[in-house]
């Protein structure tokens, strides 16, 4: 085979490999839609139930990653979804079952809750305006609408902690409840601002940067 033919063959192989890689990227990352979950209709209006855990399900592609889930009111059905579909201009109630341990906030200002109605929320039934920044595990924040809710972490000495999702309410957890009014139709990013990605530089990689774990969207319809 001549030198020209070898170069042509090599170029063809590289081009084919590049085209295949682009096709895989488009199929897996650009066209794939993460699952979504909606609020439950109750007597007081739409109610969204969520859970935050130290580790995803063992069957998940990242079973060691910290994650949020959509759950039902009794924490018996779990859906690995971080896109939540809610009606526009509506008072929505949210309950978050928090099973993860304390991480602490690098910015103590995030320990103060904002954007809720009537301006406070409950932690295990006690109405508060915020928590001790050193005891936080995560934050549920929607910057575009000014919503910030710090989530209390369980103690390092807590009995019967949950390891991987799904977690039973019989395991150690805190329950946060709040209400907020949804904005107009659109897609609004929510994010945890606690750098809780163990094993990544300064805790900001992996689940902190991946939709479906510590961030997602409110899809207001």
Q: Provide mean pLDDT across the span 136-146.
A: 97
Considering only residues 9 and 48, tell me which one the structure prediction assigns the higher pLDDT: 48
Q: Provide mean pLDDT across the span 51-57.
A: 96
* pLDDT of 26 above 60: no
* pLDDT of 205 above 90: no
pTM over 0.95: no
CB-based burial, 147-163: b 16+ in 10 Å, e otherwise: bbbbbbbbeeebeebbe
Whole-angstrom CA distances from 85 to 37, 56, 114, 144, 200 are: 6, 22, 21, 16, 30
Cα–Cα distance for residue pair 191/50, rounded to 1 Å: 14
Instruction: Quick: pLDDT tens for 149-179.
Output: 999 999 999 999 999 999 999 999 999 999 9
Residue pair 85/180 in contact by the 8 Å Cβ criterion: no
pLDDT for residue 206: 85
* pLDDT of 20 above 60: no
Instruction: Quick: pLDDT tens for 66-118.
Output: 999 999 988 889 999 999 999 999 999 999 999 999 988 988 999 999 999 99
pLDDT for residue 195: 82
Residue-range domain boundaries for the chain? 1-32, 36-220
Choose the CATH number for 36-220 among 3.40.50, 2.60.40, 3.30.70, 3.30.1710: 2.60.40
Question: In the beta sheet, which residues pair with residue 75?
Answer: none
| Burial (CB count within 10 angstroms: exposed 0-12, middle 13-18, buried 19+), residue 56 | buried
Q: What angle do CA 68, 45, 137 make, to 5 degrees?
A: 25
Among 16-25, 29-38, 161-170, 192-201, name the most confident range: 161-170
């Amino acid at each position: 085979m001549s030198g020209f033919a070898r170069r042509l063959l090599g170029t063809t192989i590289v081009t084919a490999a590049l085209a295949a890689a682009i096709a895989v990227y488009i199929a897996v990352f650009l066209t794939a839609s993460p699952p979504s979950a909606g609020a439950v209709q109750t007597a007081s209006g739409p109610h969204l139930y969520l859970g935050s855990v130290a580790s995803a399900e063992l069957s998940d592609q990242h079973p060691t990653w910290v994650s949020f889930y959509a759950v039902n009111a009794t924490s018996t059905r779990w859906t690995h979804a971080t896109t939540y579909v809610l009606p526009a201009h509506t008072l929505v109630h949210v309950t978050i079952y928090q099973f993860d341990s304390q991480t602490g906030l690098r910015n103590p200002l995030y320990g103060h809750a904002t954007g809720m109605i009537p301006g406070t929320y409950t932690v295990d039934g006690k109405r508060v305006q915020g928590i001790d920044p050193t005891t936080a595990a995560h934050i549920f924040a929607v910057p575009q609408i000014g919503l910030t809710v710090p989530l209390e972490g369980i103690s390092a000495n807590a009995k019967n902690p949950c390891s991987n999702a799904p977690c039973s309410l019989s395991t150690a957890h805190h329950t946060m409840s709040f209400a907020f009014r949804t904005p107009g139709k659109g897609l609004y990013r929510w994010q945890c601002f606690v750098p809780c990605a163990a094993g990544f530089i300064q805790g900001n990689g992996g689940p902190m940067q991946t939709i479906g774990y510590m961030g997602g969207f409110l899809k207001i319809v």
